[in-house]
Amino acid sequence: MVVPSRWRALVILLTCLIGACNSGGEATPGTTGSILSNDESAVSGAADTQSGIQGVEPVPLLQGNWATDCVLDNDQSGLIYSRQTLSVSGADITKEFATYSDPDCTLPQVVGVLVSGSTVQASGVSVPTNRIVDTTLGQAVAVDFHFDVPTVDNAALPDEFIGLQGFNAEVIYDIVLVHEGKLYFGDTNLPGFAGRTPQTRPVSLLLGVSYNKIP
């Protein structure tokens, strides 16, 4: 299905939100690594009572609230700044992409393609595996993230979004690592390592985007 031009920017925002991209929307080379375990099975555990997903468990290093720096979004006309935040409590995880009109990311900026507001959310659960990936920053932990359908300003998407790429519930097979107080995810932009299947889980970290711990 062809995405109408007026929605393309939102598709880009959702790609950055659920996957990872730098401030300009492009892939940033990460640290290469090697997979140290080939077992793709999830950690044993009871199914989540609401989602029915097997192996839902907290990931200790992810716990708490995280945020990227406030960056100038070069893909938008005018001065639009953006920040991604991450909130993790137990196995529940919520990512949010927000736009602002000031370099300190304090004044929300409504972007027209975002339908009615300036934020996009993706909520889901974490399923840790017994897999690690060796990177030059250390050993990253393999985690499967099961995300629900994204929302805009915490409201359901319009019907015309249903079925379009990036607007469905999905699983991201990713890696995570905390290095010197910064949280990194895998580089899912590299060809062959998009993290859409266990076999394409990233083997490098996206250095262009990192999260800092916040209160």
Domain for residue 101, yes or no? yes
DSSP character string of the chain: -PPPGGGHHHHHHHHHHHS---TTSS----EEEEES----PBPP-PPPTTT--TT----GGG-EEEEPPPEE-TTSSSS-EEEEEEEEETTEEEEEEEEESSTTS-SB---GGGTTSSEEEEEEEEEEEEEEEEETTEEEEEEEEEE---EETTBPPPGGGTTSTTSS-EEEEEEEEEETTEEEEB-TTSTT--SSSGGG--SEE-TT--EEEE-
Domain for residue 83, yes or no? yes
Domain for residue 158, yes or no? yes
- What are the tens digits of pLDDT across the range 16-37? 655 555 544 444 444 445 444 4
Domain for residue 112, yes or no? yes
What is the pTM for the complete model shown?
0.80
What is the domain extent for residue 59? 5-40+54-214
Residue type, 136: T
Domain for residue 17, yes or no? yes
Domain count, the chain: 1
Most confident of 24-38, 48-62, 146-160, 167-181: 167-181
- What are the tens digits of pLDDT across the range 189-214? 989 999 999 999 999 999 999 999 99
Nearest to 161 by CA among 126, 118, 115, 107: 115
Cα–Cα distance for residue pair 124/145, rounded to 1 Å: 7
Q: Given the structure tokens 């990192």, which residue do they identify?
A: 210
Higher pLDDT, 27 or 94: 94
**In this predicted structure, what is the pLDDT of residue 42?**
37
Domain for residue 49, yes or no? no
Higher pLDDT, 141 or 77: 141
Domain for residue 131, yes or no? yes
Domain for residue 119, yes or no? yes
